[in-house]
Copies of this chain bind each other. A is one copy, B any other.
Amino acid sequence: MRVDRVNGGASTDIIEFTPNADQYAYTFGGAKPVMDVSPGSVLRLWSEDAFNGRLQTVEDRPSEKLDMTAVNPQTGPFYVTGAEPGDTLALHIVDLTPARDWGVSSAIQNFGGMTSTPLNPTLQDPLPEQTWIYQADLERRVVRFSAVNSQFELDLPMSPMLGTVGVAPPAREVRTSLVPGSYGGNMDTPEMRAGATAYFGVNVEGALFSIGDGHYRQGEGEACGTAVEGAMNSTIIVELIKGGAPPTWPRVETDDALMVVGSARPLEDAWRIAQADMVDWISALYGLTPMDSYQLISQTSLAPLANVVDTNYSAVVKIEKRLLPPAQSYQGMHDHLRGRAEELRAAGLQPFRPGTPLDLTD
């Protein structure tokens, strides 16, 4: 573990942290915090890819290389000082920069959206295992898809995101880092990218949030079960909203949109969860009755799927701010954090360079 605390201004900690392999967490809840952070801190975090870095060539077979009970390693959890049940944790993603010059995706047997799995089994033979390596070009901001069975190659825009962000679950539960739920977790939505502020209800003292599962790119639905997975350097500002009405499901705010992420099976219930919470959110923002809010949302909301592959599926309900009158959520927290991010940039904060692992000491 390398940790540096850098005084980033009047009252701001800038904390850089790259976990050792024995520090990864594989659960939400149940893992000891790697450190305490105070609200307002800026975290610069390195995270390993979802395969624990074990898939490196197209010949690497997941069944030989992976331990499926220890995938999707998390960087964290972090204990947020002062966070208590009933509070709201705000995590603003300032920057996501790939930490390697290659990403990797894989068809793991009996895992993914277009195959039977242990939770929706059939008697059919599994799909073949296969690994794809994507060369990543940070300058041109592309990843290169190379077909395994033909000569087809294609550059795709790099679009970094975090597949997994969450806090400890309620009701004493511990879930693996493969599961999304009301506490966030492995939601796998492309909306979790730089510029987004994610809000989570705090369930336990210290909130105990962690991040991981960096994706250099992902389609909505994450059909084959894995994105262009890659180690990631994340710059995140942590904030805490004491009391009030914490969200029951993860909410995400960007400059352009309000979003809720629901996770459940079947998929319509994930969508219903997000829709119900959006009704609450819009009702509160504009003083509408639930029926008026339901109507307004019916005509304005977008519904980009997140994943249809995890043990719970995740659906996003999203409303573009341009359609709505100006309004402030969580006391203007998103705008505040955007301002903070701008200050950091103005002060010369650089994106992390790629590196495996990122060496913060030189």
Contact, CB under 8 Å: B299 / A217: yes
- The stretch of A6-14, A194-202, A271-279 that contacts the partner chain: A271-279
CB-based nearest B residue for A153: B325
CB-based nearest B residue for A131: B295
Q: Is A123 an interface residue (CB 8 A)?
A: yes
Q: Is A160 an interface residue (CB 8 A)?
A: no
Within 8 Å by CB of A292, from B30, B120, B147, B219, lies: B147
Instruction: Known A172-B27, A296-B154, A300-B219; judge A114-B272 contact (CB<8 A).
Output: yes
Contact, CB under 8 Å: B123 / A115: yes
Within 8 Å by CB of A107, from B130, B248, B269, B294, lies: B294
Contact, CB under 8 Å: A279 / B114: yes
- The stretch of A74-82, A283-291, A352-360 that contacts the partner chain: A283-291
Q: Is A209 an interface residue (CB 8 A)?
A: no
CB-based nearest B residue for A296: B145
CB-based nearest B residue for A31: B172
Enumerate A72-123 residues with CB–CB distance to B below 8 Å.
Answer: 105, 107, 113-116, 118-123
Q: Is A233 an interface residue (CB 8 A)?
A: no
Q: Is A297 an interface residue (CB 8 A)?
A: yes
- Residue of A122, A147, A269 with most partner-chain B CB within 10 A: A122
Q: Is A333 an interface residue (CB 8 A)?
A: no
Q: How many copies does the complex hold?
A: 4
Contact, CB under 8 Å: A219 / B148: no
Contact, CB under 8 Å: B152 / A221: no
Return chain B residues, CB-CB under 8 Å to A150: 287-289, 292
- The stretch of A16-24, A35-43, A238-246, A260-268 that contacts the partner chain: A260-268
The answer for the CA separation of A132 and B297 in the assembled complex, in Å, is 13
Q: Is A329 an interface residue (CB 8 A)?
A: no
Contact, CB under 8 Å: A294 / B69: no
Enumerate A301-333 residues with CB–CB distance to B below 8 Å.
Answer: 301-305, 308, 313, 315, 317, 323-325
- The stretch of A47-55, A223-231, A337-345 that contacts the partner chain: A223-231
Return chain B residues, CB-CB under 8 Å to A105: 295, 298-299
Instruction: Known A150-B292, A220-B303, A291-B149; judge A266-B264 contact (CB<8 A).
Output: no
The answer for the CA separation of A317 and B303 in the assembled complex, in Å, is 12
Contact, CB under 8 Å: B120 / A219: no
Contact, CB under 8 Å: A302 / B220: yes
- Residue of A248, A272, A298 with most partner-chain B CB within 10 A: A298
Instruction: Known A130-B295, A171-B69, A220-B302; judge A124-B116 contact (CB<8 A).
Output: yes
CB-based nearest B residue for A124: B124
Contact, CB under 8 Å: A298 / B149: no
Return chain B residues, CB-CB under 8 Å to A46: none
- Residue of A105, A107, A299 with most partner-chain B CB within 10 A: A299
Q: Is A184 an interface residue (CB 8 A)?
A: no
CB distance from A51 to the nearest CB of B (A): 15
The answer for the CA separation of A187 and B224 in the assembled complex, in Å, is 25
Instruction: Known A173-B27, A221-B303, A267-B266; judge A275-B113 contact (CB<8 A).
Output: yes
7 contacts between A and B (CB under 8 A): A114-B279, A124-B126, A130-B295, A219-B298, A219-B301, A224-B295, A304-B304
Known contacts A154-B296, A221-B317; 17 further A-B pairs (Cβ under 8 A) = A30-B30, A30-B172, A105-B295, A118-B273, A121-B269, A121-B273, A122-B122, A123-B127, A127-B291, A145-B296, A148-B295, A157-B323, A217-B299, A219-B300, A220-B302, A271-B308, A303-B304
